Amino acid sequence: MKSHYRAVVIGGGVVGASVLYHLARFGWSDVALIERAELTAGSTWHAAAGFHALNADPNVAALQDYTIKLYREIEAESGHNIGLHMTGGVNMASDPQRWEWLKSAWAVFQSVGIVTARLVTPDEIKEICPIVDVSGVLGGLYDANEGHLDPYGTTHAYAGAAKRRGADVILRNRVVELKSRADGHWDVVTEQGTIVAEHVVNAGGLWAKQLGRMAGIDLPVTPMEHHYFVTEDIPEIAALDRELGLAVDLDGFSYLRQERKGVLLGVYEQNPRHWNMDGAPWNYGIELIPEDIDRISPELARAHERFPCLASAGIRKWVNGAFTFTPDGNPIVGPVRGLKNYWVACGVMAGFSQGGGVGKSLAEWMIHGEPQADIFGMDIARYGAFAANREYLRQTTRQFYARRFVMTFPNERLPAGRPLKRPGAYDGMSAAGCEWTASWGLEIPAYFAPMGFRENTALKRSNAFAIVGDEALQVRRAAGLVDISAYARYSVSGAGAQAWLDRLLACRLPKAGQARLAPMLGPDGRLKGDLTVMNWGGDDYWLMGSYYLREFHMRWFESRAGEGITVTDISDATGGFLLTGPNARRILERTTHQDVSGAALPFMACGTFDIGMVQARIARLSIAGELGFEINCPVTMHATLREALLAAGEDLGLAEIGYHALNALRLEKSFGIWSREFTQGYTPGQTGLDRFIAFDKGDFVGREAALKEHNVGAAQRIVTLEVDAVDGDASGFEPVWRDGRRVGLVTSGGFGYTIGRSVALALVDAGFAEEGTALSVHIAGVERRARVIAAAPYDPSGKAMRQ
């Protein structure tokens, strides 16, 4: 053990070993892994160690694909046998909606380049796994790139390959304290002495909670119990001349693979149990939790029906072990805001599916400043401090575990951890029939429905289709009012505010009393935000963006802190409403003594106005593509503002609307949004945001890379598609085809109620971006004809917004 390392990885499970390997592989050889006991002595040693390609987040699925393809490489490099069984695996569906969902998942796999996946019939499933009873099975999704391996051998292969590249592995030495140093380095205090580390990685697994608290943070992770059993030899398997493929009975909540001449069967029970929510005891080692068979008996009964030979099989051993879970089941990876050079790689409950991708992405982040892939689905910044609350964590992790094999639909609104944060006018909007969804803990309106209405969840159009349509059309006819509390707002002030923003943002800064769309780039020229910047005058600016990116953006702002500026997240203190539609100005005029005419408050202007008794900050813009006013106020006045606006618009057709209608309206204008058209994996040229970049204004973050793309031209472009849909619409990540060749993917889609057509925005190869190009798109697993149409099929000149 040396006294100083460039990076110290704490935790000797498969994830920690993967991080160590990738750091060494990418050029940091002066690194060490510290493990309190032996490698794998946590969750790893008792893992079922299957690996799967399927994941609800396509970006995570792509990293799982990377992980699986890496195994043969680390085995060869390390010389350790990882016990790789590349058997292929199949996810079965016996419910019609599930079968439709699998067909849709197959299409998404094509979009992210996982071409080994294919749809299979019940007879083919029987061939893959001869012991399955396919009665009632409609089909399955098979991937040849699935299987299982030896968890001990795999972890040692990662560690062995890392040691060959110069890394150290230090065992039987617990970390007892972490102390931050003034220079940004860390004192890693261990039982055997103190190490100075430039960077620390928390890969603590079952002990990640405690390691986080050593650094002063409470991570949203918690251990939960998970059962599987291994049978004695089964005659039907012993008689086979090949190994069974993995079989996942999604509707039965069980998975099965071959183990010797028997099987390993695990379940995700509907009645899960937490275990030591604050983390495992330090003296917990290679141990198991007593099995609780009665609690999982309903799932076991279904497994026996699906795999009849289990009825006569003896049980060789039960395993009830603990794994760490996050609220959405995906890992938490990346730098922790406010803790210089402290990194996390925790909550990786599917370590043998995701461990390689986690290690790769984190090592890239640490060494190069950014991961190659867009991993926001694993980024710790997708959570705020609220997610570590014990009750919130208990509810959400329990919900995820119980729904591990349950379908989640695009329009589904899950109940765990809700309601947590509520807008000021929550009670009034609820009384008006608001159906709520949530973003980053905040309740936001989906749509307004008659009392007693219940939406059916589906991949296709639901019974809320007409309700949403009425809201969208009312905006076009008269006016709509939508709560915009779920917009992030950041105050930027001080003598250095203008210079700092000019460097941070790619646009030209607006003059006092004006707003501007503001792309924000990383050094590599990829997007970091699609913000709106507002200049209130006197070195007082606001940035507005996506609510769920608050931690992500504050981490970014703080990492580029400048002299003479203060950046404050005011999102919890500020709410508001968007008033939009042709009657919006007439309604607003009734609430104020001030001039809000087009001359006094033109398009993209902003200022402070009295609206009834509320002093509000207003910006003249609208994502709906109509005359619009974003009206911002203190949260304590949110309900008062709503009442004033509704009263003023009662006889002018003002209707409250939700974000589902707003989404339909923005699609008709070909307006992109973050996480769909704009992500940190895309560039300005791909997305069309380059038209808002002031390349001639001087230096700004990402200018060189963006200018290079601008001069050469992007290889892909966002286009608008009209889709020959029947009873469903594209929603995102569906592949776009031309004569059987994949040429792009849908970024978002829906129905345009004003134009009466199904539309989608898609990122396609530049050669297929011309208006009139015939293409096709998968919707709910069915290929539909589509064509490229001109952007903004509604009001292409933008006259409505500017009136």
Could you state, in chain order, the average pLDDT of each consecutive group of 10 residues for the chain (803 residues)?
Answer: 96 98 98 97 93 79 91 96 96 94 92 90 97 97 95 98 98 98 97 98 97 97 97 96 95 96 97 95 91 96 97 96 95 97 96 96 97 95 97 98 90 96 98 98 98 93 98 98 98 97 98 98 97 97 98 97 94 98 98 98 98 98 98 98 98 98 98 97 97 96 97 97 97 95 97 98 98 97 96 98 94
Q: How many CB atoms lie within 10 A of CB 191?
A: 11
SS3 of 237, please?
helix
CATH code: domain 423-671+690-700 is: 3.30.1360.120
- Distance CA(116)–CA(65), nearest Å, equals 10
CA nearest to 534, candidates 490, 569, 485:
490
Query: What are 265's strand-pairing partners?
Result: 229, 256
Spell out the alpha helix ranges (H) of 149-246.
Answer: 151-164, 208-214, 235-238
Query: What are 534's strand-pairing partners?
Result: 515, 542
Residues sharing a CB contact under 8 Å with residue 24, sequence separation 6 or more, in sequence order: 31, 161, 162, 165, 166, 167
- Distance CA(381)–CA(319), nearest Å, equals 34
- Distance CA(295)–CA(287), nearest Å, equals 20
Rounded to 10 deg, the angle between the 14-25 and 151-164 helix axes is 20
- Distance CA(803)–CA(799), nearest Å, equals 6
Asked whether the beta carbons of 484 and 654 are under 8 A apart, the reply is no
Asked whether the beta carbons of 527 and 684 are under 8 A apart, the reply is yes
Residue with token string 């199904």: 758
* 534-538 long-range contacts, CB within 8 A, separation 24+: 534/510, 534/606, 534/617, 534/619, 535/509, 535/510, 535/511, 535/606, 536/512, 536/606, 536/607, 536/608, 536/617, 537/512, 537/513, 538/512
pLDDT for res 319:
96
- Give the alpha-carbon dihedral of 410, 415, 416, 417, to 10 degrees: 100
SS3 of 354, please?
helix
- The amino acid sitting at 546 is S
Q: What angle do CA 630, 632, 634 make, to 5 degrees?
A: 165
- Distance CA(88)–CA(246), nearest Å, equals 6
In CATH terms, the superfamily for domain 4-332+342-365 is: FAD/NAD(P)-binding domain (3.50.50.60)
Domain boundaries, the chain: 4-332+342-365, 423-671+690-700, 715-802
Asked whether the beta carbons of 93 and 101 are under 8 A apart, the reply is yes
Asked whether the beta carbons of 509 and 534 are under 8 A apart, the reply is no
Name the fold adopted by 715-802: Elongation Factor Tu (Ef-tu); domain 3 (2.40.30)
- Distance CA(332)–CA(742), nearest Å, equals 32
